[in-house]
């Protein structure tokens, strides 16, 4: 009995040991030999691929209605959505801004003059009798004379005069770009930024010379033409500092509605020039209304002369190539020196602008190019041609374009008259500027100072709220007792 009890106790201890070691899943402990024998890993199950099984992608059928064209890309741009207008809308917008600026300038000038008159009275009006004898404009009771305090009527610029000033400084932007040797895109972008800014602002509020200087620097950044602000300021003038250049940037960004994308017609006219050369060489493979490259070449070699007078004579390929190069040169010069100075970017698309400039350079060649894209029988042909002629009339009516067609004496006389008129407008602008917006550097510093003070005020409010919250918590603890500690 004793031996049986001892054996039973030993078996219980062995079982308890196995349970404590976490080996209850084994009915018996492995033998000594089994523990010494290394365990070989199990070989994975072999999988023989089925050679007949293959993943076949589903063929994708292109949707003919899903086509992304250059027109679609342009319609999605901010230039089309936010900066496209009609002539009536442009005139209405400029008149509205002029009226608002005129009212603001008159009110601010009257306030400044009244403040100056009051300061003069406060400084000099101790002896009323002496002041009256000296003609200080005060009554016997040190009260400003109403007749002297009334501000003279401010002669403000009209909307047409403001536009003339903006147009003049757009021309000066070209000279400024040449001074810095900036590329064409930088100067053209600067001019469009300037015209956009003054569509929602007045020269009486922000002087064009100050804004132009900063906009040109912004255009270099937009067009990825790197120049340091200190280097730019050195070339802008003797008294121009980097702070003068950077101060109006935020105001300009607001005026531009943060839209910095400008679509120019320069790349489009290069593409059209290359297509015309391919047509002349018989290598054109684009849309040609069912004509073969040889047919297109035969027609372009037999175009009427540039003047449109005289019969069509088939010319050698070399002569037609020279004609295409000449038209491209004239049209490109028109785009970079005249078209950018007009409202063409507000009224027409880049493709319409370059075709209009090309139409002015060589009408028969441009009409032939248009016929390869849009046949004369198409319902949109007449509408498209009318739009191009309207844009061409806008460009050709500019003063610089007209001067190029005049003899030298008449051109010089017109320029002298224009400069005299402009000199009078600039002098008039000096007398009707908004006094609150004269020094943009100080205005920018004041805005930054107010922002810092505003942050300090917010911080002090937060501190006061924190102290008040801690006081409420102490009062609550005094009445209800402190918060119970959480059990760990």
Let me know whether 255 and 272 are in one domain: no
pLDDT of residue 24: 43
Give buried/exposed letters for 199-217 (b at 16+ CB in 10 A, else e): bebbbbbbbbebbbbbbbb
Flag whether the pTM goes above 0.85.
no
Report how far residue 314's alpha carbon sits from residue 322's, in angstroms, rounded to the nearest whole number.
14
Task: Pick the last residue of a domain from 227, 262, 297.
Answer: 262
Does residue 103 form part of some domain?
Answer: yes
CA atoms in the 13 A half-sphere facing the CB of 144: 17
Q: How far is CA 485 from the centre of its chain?
A: 60
Which residues in the chain come in under a pLDDT of 50? 1-2, 19-36, 127, 130, 132-151
**144, β-bridge pairs:** 138
pLDDT of residue 445: 73
pLDDT of residue 447: 66
Alpha carbon distances (Å) from 6 to 15, 16, 27 = 14, 15, 22
pLDDT of residue 115: 84
CATH of the domain at 196: 1.10.472.10
Give buried/exposed letters for 429-442 (b at 16+ CB in 10 A, else e): beebbbeebeebee
Task: Pick the last residue of a domain from 405, 421, 451.
Answer: 405
Let me know whether 271 and 374 are in one domain: yes
pLDDT of residue 118: 81
Does residue 41 form part of some domain?
Answer: no
pLDDT of residue 254: 95
Split into its structural domains, the chain has a count of 2
pLDDT of residue 252: 96
Let me know whether 271 and 257 are in one domain: no
Let me know whether 105 and 202 are in one domain: yes
pLDDT of residue 38: 52
Q: What angle do CA 42, 47, 53 make, to 5 degrees?
A: 165
Q: Any residues with CB less than 8 A from the CB of 245 and at least 6 apart, and which?
A: 213, 214, 217, 229, 232, 233, 236
Let me know whether 218 and 97 are in one domain: yes
Nearest to 281 by CA among 262, 261, 296: 296
Domain interval for residue 343: 266-405
Using CA of residue 202, residue 208, residue 210, residue 214, what is the dihedral sign? positive
pLDDT of residue 64: 61
Report how far residue 316's alpha carbon sits from residue 320's, in angstroms, rounded to the nearest whole number.
7
Let me know whether 346 and 282 are in one domain: yes
Q: In the structure encoding, which two tokens stand for residue 94, read together?
A: 């400029």
Let me know whether 242 and 110 are in one domain: yes
Task: Pick the last residue of a domain from 374, 405, 436.
Answer: 405
Q: How many CB atoms lie within 10 A of CB 88?
A: 8
pLDDT of residue 44: 55
């Amino acid at each position: 009995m004793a031996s049986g009890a001892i054996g039973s106790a030993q078996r219980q201890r062995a079982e308890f040991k196995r349970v404590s070691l976490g080996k209850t899943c084994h009915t018996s402990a492995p033998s000594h030999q089994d523990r010494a024998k290394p365990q070989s890993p199990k070989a994975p199950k072999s999988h023989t691929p089925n050679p007949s099984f293959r993943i076949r992608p589903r063929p994708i059928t292109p949707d003919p209605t899903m086509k992304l064209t250059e027109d679609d890309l342009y319609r999605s741009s901010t230039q089309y959505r936010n900066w496209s207008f009609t002539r009536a809308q442009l005139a209405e917008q400029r008149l509205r801004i002029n009226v608002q600026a005129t009212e603001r300038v008159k009110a601010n000038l009257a306030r400044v003059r009244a403040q100056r008159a009051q300061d003069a009275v406060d400084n000099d009006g101790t002896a009323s009798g002496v002041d009256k004898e000296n003609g200080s404009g005060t009554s016997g009771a040190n009260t400003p004379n109403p007749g002297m305090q009334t501000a003279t009527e401010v002669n403000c610029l009209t909307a047409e005069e403001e536009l003339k000033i903006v147009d003049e400084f757009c021309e000066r932007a070209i000279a400024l770009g040449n001074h810095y040797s900036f590329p064409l895109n930088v100067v053209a972008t600067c001019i469009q930024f300037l015209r956009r800014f003054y569509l929602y602002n007045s020269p009486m509020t922000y002087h064009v010379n100050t804004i132009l200087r900063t906009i040109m620097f912004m255009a270099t950044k937009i067009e990825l033409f790197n120049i340091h602000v200190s280097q730019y300021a050195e070339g802008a003038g003797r008294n121009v500092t980097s702070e003068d250049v950077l101060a109006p940037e935020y105001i300009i960004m607001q005026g531009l509605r943060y839209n910095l994308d400008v679509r120019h017609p320069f790349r489009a006219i290069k593409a059209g020039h290359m297509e015309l050369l391919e047509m002349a060489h018989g290598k054109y493979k684009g849309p040609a209304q069912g004509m073969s490259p040889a047919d297109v070449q035969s027609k372009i070699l037999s175009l009427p002369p540039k003047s449109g007078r005289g019969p069509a004579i088939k010319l050698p390929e070399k002569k037609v190539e020279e004609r295409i190069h000449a038209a491209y040169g004239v049209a490109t010069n028109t785009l970079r020196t005249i078209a950018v100075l007009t409202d063409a970017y507000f009224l027409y698309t880049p493709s319409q602008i370059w075709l209009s400039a090309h139409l002015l350079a060589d009408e028969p060649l441009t009409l032939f190019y248009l016929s390869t894209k849009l046949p004369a029988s198409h319902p949109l042909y007449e509408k498209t041609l009318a739009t191009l002629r309207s844009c061409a009339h806008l460009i050709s009516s500019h003063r610089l374009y007209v001067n190029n067609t005049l003899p030298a004496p008449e051109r010089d006389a017109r320029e002298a008259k224009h400069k005299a008129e402009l000199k009078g407008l600039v002098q008039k602008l000096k007398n009707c500027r908004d006094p609150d917006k004269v020094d943009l550097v100080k205005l920018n510093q004041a805005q930054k100072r107010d922002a810092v003070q505003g942050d300090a005020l917010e911080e002090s409010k937060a501190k006061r709220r924190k102290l008040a919250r801690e006081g409420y918590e102490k009062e609550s603890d005094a009445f209800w007792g402190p918060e119970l500690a959480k059990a760990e």
